[in-house]
Amino acid sequence: MATTNWTADNIPSQQGKTILITGANSGLGLEASKVLSGKGAQVIMTVRNLQKGKEAVETIKKENPDAKLDLMLLDLSDFQSIRRFSEDFHSRYSQLHVLINNAGVMSPPNRELTKQGFEVQFGANHLGHFLLTGLLLDITRKTPNSRIAVQSSLAHKHKQYGGGYMVFEDLNFEKKTYNKDHAYGQSKLANLLFAYELERKLKAHHISTIVTAAHPGYTNTNLQKNFGFFIKVIMNKLVAQKVEMGTLPILRAATEEGLKGSEFFGPTKMNEIKGFPELVKSNDKSYDKEIAKRLWEVSEKLTGFTYKFD
């Protein structure tokens, strides 16, 4: 599957496809919206702030006035917003070829909570997408050749971010001291555990929708806004890759034909920090079926949503 310098030029026409992207007003989500609408897809750009969303739509329309963009409100840190969004989506769309679970928040210095009281990184990055994906699955599974592409991070395995450890005894960092970086790493490991478990469940039920995953290495976006000047400005300029490059892994995961499911794409240069996207390996924990099962059960309990595959 190794390709020489896979770029957006490798993406086939997306005419006729309906693609939903979360966190579409900024960084990787905005770039993916631009590229995929440029390839002819109807792109549903979901945002939690409509003003920011309108500006993002204008940015794309300036370059491509014919882009088929639909802006919709979705706050992943509020289950009610996700349920409202799902109802709205069901009333407007009958197919969903690609769901790109991209939105994310990283390392807020103080422990922040979602509307329902979960630590915000576990709550929005993981639980929010878990609920969203489940609510949309009836449409996704009846759309031929459909897929779900999940944006994770190298942080799912790095020591600084908790070393790939789900803190099941304290998922919301309520009991022990809040560790912003571990909470982020945990949420990004959860993204992968969810992706692989969902893929296994879909296969087991003979549902043709596939699930793929990606990480963008280190990319200059607004994600690092909670960090100090050195990272936010200096490192982002000198080390991080540009957003056009950082978006390629998720674009590949979302569009490459012939994938079977569970593929994980990331950059391959400088310990996966930058470079063109190829298949990469996530850590052993992310493939652990027992951990995935436990996370699935707790996620159903916390979201109050039970997946139905029959």
Ligand X SMILES: NC(=O)c1ccc[n+]([C@@H]2O[C@H](COP(=O)([O-])OP(=O)(O)OC[C@H]3O[C@@H](n4cnc5c(N)ncnc54)[C@H](OP(=O)(O)O)[C@@H]3O)[C@@H](O)[C@H]2O)c1
Would strands 68-73 and 42-47 be described as parallel, antiparallel, or unpaired?
Answer: parallel
DSSP for 136-197, written as a single string: HHHHHHHSTT-EEEEE--GGGT-GGGTSS---GGGTTS-SSPP-HHHHHHHHHHHHHHHHHH
Active-site annotation holder among 178, 184, 218, 307: 178
Rank residues 230 and 308 by Cβ distance to ligand X and give the closer one: 230
**Contact by Cβ (8 Å): 206, 165:** no
Residue number with CB closer to ligand X (205 or 269): 269
| 219 belongs to the binding site for ligand X (CB under 6 A) | yes
Give the β-pairing of 274-279 and 98-101.
unpaired
Site residues (CB under 6 A) for ligand X, limited to 111-140 = 124
Q: Is residue 162 a contact point for ligand X (CB under 6 A)? A: no
Of the candidate residues 10, 222, 226, 283, the single one contacting ligand X (CB under 6 A): 222
Q: How far apart are CA 45 and CA 59, in angstroms?
A: 13
- Interface with ligand X includes 249 (CB under 6 A)? no
Please choose, from the candidates 292, 146, 278, the residue with its C-alpha nearest in 3D space to the C-alpha of residue 209: 146
Query: Quick check: 75 binds ligand X (CB under 6 A)?
Result: yes
User: Number of residues in contact with ligand X, rule: CB under 6 A?
Assistant: 29
Residue 143: φ, ψ to 5° = -90, 120
Structure tokens at 215: 């990480």
Give the one residue of 10, 40, 52, 165 binding ligand X; rule: CB under 6 A: 52
Interaction with ligand X in 168-187: which residues (CB under 6 A)? none
Q: Is 178 known to be catalytic?
A: yes
Considering only residues 107, 143, 212, 221, which one is a binding residue for ligand X as defined by CB under 6 A?
A: 221
Kindly indicate which of the ranges 75-83, 255-263, 275-283, 287-295 contains the residues binding ligand X, using the contact rule CB under 6 A.
75-83
Q: Please, what is the minimum distance in Å from the beta carbon of residue 144 to ligand X?
A: 28
Q: Residue 161: how many CB atoms within 10 A of its CB?
A: 25
By the rule CB under 6 A, 103 interacts with ligand X? yes
Q: Which of 235, 131, 126, 239 is nearest to 185 (CA)?
A: 126
State residue 269 phi and psi, 5-degree precision.
-100, 155
Among 215, 248, 254, 275, binds ligand X (CB under 6 A): 215
Q: Which stretch binds ligand X (CB under 6 A): 60-68, 214-222, 275-283, 298-306?
A: 214-222
d(CA 172, CA 70): 34
Site residues, ligand X (CB under 6 A) = 22-23, 25-29, 48-49, 52, 74-77, 102-106, 124, 151, 153, 215-216, 218-219, 221-223
- Which residues are tagged catalytic? 178
